[in-house]
Amino acid sequence: MGLGGGMLEKEMKHVKIPEIRFTKLFINGEFVDSVSGKTFETIDPRTGEVIARMAEGDKVDVDLAVKAAREAFDHGPWPRFSGSERARIMRKFADLIDDNVEELAALDTIDAGKLFSRGKAIDIPSVAGQLRYYAGAADKIHGETLKMSREFQAYTLREPIGVVGLIIPWNFPSGILFMKVAPALAAGCTMIVKPAEQTPLSALYYANLAKLAGVPDGVLNVVNGYGPTAGAAISSHMDIDKVSFTGSTEVGRKVMEASAKSNLKVVSLELGGKSPVIIFDDADVDEAAHLAFLGTDDMRIATDEIFGPVMSLMKFKTIEEAIQRANNTRYGLAAGIVTKSLNIANTVSRSIRAGIIWINCYFVFDRDCPYGGYKMSGFGRDLGLEALSKYLVTKSVVTPIYDSPWL
C-alpha cells in the first residue's frame, strides 16, 4: 500500500490545483496582513515549489486576535446563543464544507502531501461530520441538580471555558483542526487557531466558510506563523483560558511550562506515541502482517517521530511478556492486538496503558470515539462527547431550600 511513484502520478491527475485565495491572517472576521508585514513561504512537499507567501503572525497579531476573541466572548452573541442556534450555524458551516470538498482536499494535498482521493472521500467529509456531531450536542449541554447534606440545594451550570488557543500539527491539517474547533464552537467558546507553519492554507479557507455560515466575527480567528513566536505567544498569553495542543511531546512540555509561568491556563496535550501491534500465534500471520504494515504505512502519529513506513518486529513468548514489553515505553497513545481469543483480547486491552486499543483492526477513528494519550502521549481527549468537556467549565450555584436568615 505504499504510495509508489505510479500511484502518486495517478492520484495527481485528479487534483485540480486550486487558486490560493486566502494568505492573510483572519482576525475579527477580516483577512488582514500581519502587523510587521512579514510573510513566509508555504511549500508543496511533493515538488519543493513555493505555493504561496503567507502573512506571518507573531505576538502582536496574537494579541489582536485574543482581543477580538475576548470581546466576542464577553459581549458577543456566540456564547449567549441557545445551543440550537449555535447548532444551526454549525450545520450550515458543515454544508459549505461539503460544497467545497474538492478544493479543500486539494489544498491539503498541495500543502501537506495528503492523498487527494482520501481527502475527498474521507478526511474532508469527516470534518463536516464532526461539525454535525457536535452541533447535535450543542443543545444538550446541561448541569445537575444536587441535594446537599444541609438545608441547601445546588445546581451546576456547564459554561464555555472562554477564549481558547488551538495549536495544530502539520500531519492532519483539517482533521485535527476540527477535533478542536467543532467541540469548542458547540460549547460556546471563542478561539485563536495556530495551524502548523508547514500547512497554513486550509484553516484560512475554513475560516472564510465559517464567516459565510454566520459564525460571528471574533469567534474563530486564524493566526499563521511559527511555533516559537505565534505558538509561544498563545501558550503564554495572560488572557487565553485554555490551550488545546496536538504535536510533539517536546513542544507539549513547552506549552505546559508557558501556561505555568503565565496565567495557569488549562492545557490539554495530544502528543507523540510509540504504539505496539501485538500479533498472537492464533492469528493468520500473513493477514496480520498486512494489517500491521497497513497501519504503519500511513499511521505516522503512532511511530514515535519515525515519519515513514518503518517498524521493528520483535518476538515474545507469553501474554505477560507481551503486555510488559508493550507497556515498556514512556508513551501510551495507541496499541493493536491481533488474536481470535476473546480472553487474550480482553486481558491485553485492559492491561495496556494506552488511550486507544484496536483489536483485529488498526488506525480506526470515529468522531464518537474519544482519542488521546496515557503517560507522555499527553492528557485530555479529542473526539467523542468527552471532548466537549474540555471546552466547558462547571459552576456550582448554591441556595437555601427554605427561608434565608439573611432576607
The answer to whether 69 and 191 have CB atoms below 8 angstroms apart is yes
Distance CA 290, CA 357 (A): 18
Exactly one of 42, 171, 224, 259 binds ligand NAD (CB under 6 A); which one? Answer: 171
Strands 356-359 and 334-338: parallel
From the list 1-9, 101-109, 136-144, 224-232, the region that binds ligand NAD by CB under 6 A is 224-232
250 in active site = no
The answer to whether 161 and 391 have CB atoms below 8 angstroms apart is yes
**Using CB atoms, what's the residue nearest to ligand NAD?**
227
Dump the DSSP string for 52-63.
EEEE---HHHHH
177 touches ligand NAD by CB under 6 A = no
For residue 194, the minimal CB distance to ligand NAD (Å) is: 5
From the list 45-53, 182-190, 201-209, 271-279, the region that binds ligand NAD by CB under 6 A is 271-279
Q: Which helix (H) or strand (E) is 101 found in, with range?
A: helix 101-112
Distances (CA, A) of 270 to 50, 198, 297, 360, 383: 30, 19, 21, 24, 12
Exactly one of 272, 276, 332, 336 binds ligand NAD (CB under 6 A); which one? Answer: 272
196 touches ligand NAD by CB under 6 A = yes
Distance CA 354, CA 335 (A): 7
Exactly one of 79, 227, 380, 384 binds ligand NAD (CB under 6 A); which one? Answer: 227
The answer to whether 218 and 191 have CB atoms below 8 angstroms apart is no
For residue 342, the minimal CB distance to ligand NAD (Å) is: 28
Give the list of residues 6+ apart from residue 293 with CB closer than 8 angstroms, or none.
1, 309, 311
111 touches ligand NAD by CB under 6 A = no
The answer to whether 163 and 241 have CB atoms below 8 angstroms apart is yes
301 touches ligand NAD by CB under 6 A = yes
For residue 108, the minimal CB distance to ligand NAD (Å) is: 14
380 touches ligand NAD by CB under 6 A = no
Q: Report the residue number, 164 or 255, with the smaller CB distance to ligand NAD.
A: 255
In the complex, the residues that contact ligand NAD under the rule CB under 6 A are: 167-172, 176, 194, 196-197, 226-228, 231-232, 235, 246-248, 251, 254-255, 270-273, 301, 305, 333, 373, 377
